[in-house]
Structure 1
Amino acid sequence: METFKLQQIKKSFFIEDREEVILKNIDLSLNKGELTALVGASGSGKSTLLTIAAGLQQATDGQILFENQDLAKLSAEQIRAIRAKKFGFVFQFSHLVPFLTVEDQLTLMLDVADKKINKAEVTRVLQLVGMDHRKNAYPSSLSGGEKQRVAIARAIIHQPEILFADEPTASLDSKKTEDIMALLQTLTKELNLTTLLVTHDQEVLHFVDNIVTMQDGEIIQTPVQS
């Protein structure tokens, strides 16, 4: 079921009187319960497309359709509210708050999303990512893979509709990469998430449902259902 759609997305800026086009009329549809990967060389536009879809930067033109509204037409305050309540984010680095325990990382996210703090739910989500036994640990004592697991738990604790993951395995070794990708695949199915992943690693693509290849700001291969 289609839940998120980009239509004719364009991103450009001007250098003096010359227009530099970053994205060229991108069309992309994302479905519930599916993990879609954006792949392409550095500079192809994949991370720019993800940040525009996530409302982290504005497109020059085009529509972002979600829950019967065009996000491109909303105010910055409205976009922030949607990001806090409806979107989850995982990045290359975990960006955990160093002075908060694993459990507190998640309760902070619930507070940001204006949701009731439920310790039982926090424990359940930590169990989903295999980190409930480290709930009282601080980030400094966690491995890179453990930090990413906590970051994923933080991204889903408020029950988002869309999960955006920008190079979430780029700083991990091959074993931890496999583990994190398997986790993202499982959570996408079990929680019926719509997941958009940016990756440069061709070795992880067997975990995804759809592969979208970008080159020079354009999609050169549309999603293929697995």
Structure 2
Amino acid sequence: MIFTTQDIRKTFKTGEVAEEILKGIDLSLTQGEITALVGASGSGKSTLLTIAAGLQLASGGEIHFDGEELTAMNQEQIRQIRAESFGFVFQSAHLVPFLTAEEQLLLMLETAGSPLSKKQRRDEAARILQSVGMGHRKTAYPASLSGGEKQRVAIARAIVHQPKLLFADEPTASLDSTKSREVMELLQQLTKTLNIATLMVTHEEDMLAYADRVITMKDGRLA
């Protein structure tokens, strides 16, 4: 297992009132597999994903990634691991509006501290865009891309630095059924061929067919 959580808890306080959102989560992720988290709104699935990705802190428990304990690290150490080893795909593509598709990937490589030369980075960006079917649109800006094309560029950006973990939060929620299937087929293919451990939150039952494991959350626990 490249990633595990042990007894993860999360409590939010509003004044004197404390609400426990996550109630002792044990989760493991394996490379080459898509793990889907499902559950009703408020079940804690998105909170678990953001804690697993280091985007917010747990109130208790441990997170281990690739032999290291993330919960024992400071924020700068977590940020570095997140930049180098994690990839993110969200419901909205969140592309930078004034950057071309190619430039979106080049920015990711720079953020991840890629050791590649400038030419090598451009070659890698072009290769990854080609692999997701967007090689012909590398000079296009987000405003000229369809919803499905934007999400393909977002996926390319998420994997260009060769992450070990991919976090996908409702990656098909803003797409029609045809584009949703195309995006999930792409995520499935990349998870296998690049040997990535993918954690996906979704409420769309049709998308579960692409997952290797489906885990249901209910009231802050894994059901």
Runs of 4+ in 1 over 4 A off after TM superposition: none
Q: What is the alpha-carbon distance in structure 1 between the residues aligned to residue 69 and residue 18 of structure 2? A: 25
SS at match of 1:64: strand
Q: Equivalent residues in 2 for 1:43-192 (5 A)?
A: 43-115=42-114, 116=116, 117=118, 118-192=121-195
Match of 1:6 in 2: 5
Please list every run of 5 or more consecutive structure 2 residues that lacks an aligned counterpart in the other structure: none
**C-alpha distance after superposition, 1:102-125 (max 9, x if no partner):** 000000100000112422211111
Report the alpha carbon displacement of residue 101 of structure 1 after superposing the two structures with TM. 0.5
Q: Which amino acid aligns with 1:93?
A: S
Q: What is the alpha-carbon distance in structure 2 between the residues aligned to residue 215 and residue 37 of structure 1? A: 14
RMSD (Å) for aligned C-alpha atoms: 0.8
Q: Which amino acid aligns with 2:19?
A: E
8 A contact 2:2–2:67 mirrored in 1: no
Q: What is the alpha-carbon distance in structure 1 between the residues aligned to residue 82 and residue 97 of structure 2? A: 23
Report the alpha carbon displacement of residue 16 of structure 1 after superposing the two structures with TM. 3.3
SS at match of 2:154: helix
**C-alpha distance after superposition, 1:17-49 (max 9, x if no partner):** 332110000000100100000000110100000
**C-alpha distance after superposition, 1:135-187 (max 9, x if no partner):** 01000000000000000000000000000000010000010000000100000
What is the TM-score when the length of structure 2 is the normalising length? 0.96
Q: What is the alpha-carbon distance in structure 2 between the residues aligned to residue 31 and residue 152 of structure 1? A: 19
**C-alpha distance after superposition, 1:67-114 (max 9, x if no partner):** 221101110100110110000000000010111110000001000001
Q: What is the alpha-carbon distance in structure 2 between the residues aligned to residue 139 and residue 52 of structure 1? A: 29
Q: How many residues align?
A: 219
Identity %: 62
Q: What is the alpha-carbon distance in structure 2 between the residues aligned to residue 114 and residue 13 of structure 1? A: 34
Q: Which amino acid aligns with 2:213?
A: N
**C-alpha distance after superposition, 1:167-220 (max 9, x if no partner):** 010000010000000100000000000000000001111101000100111100
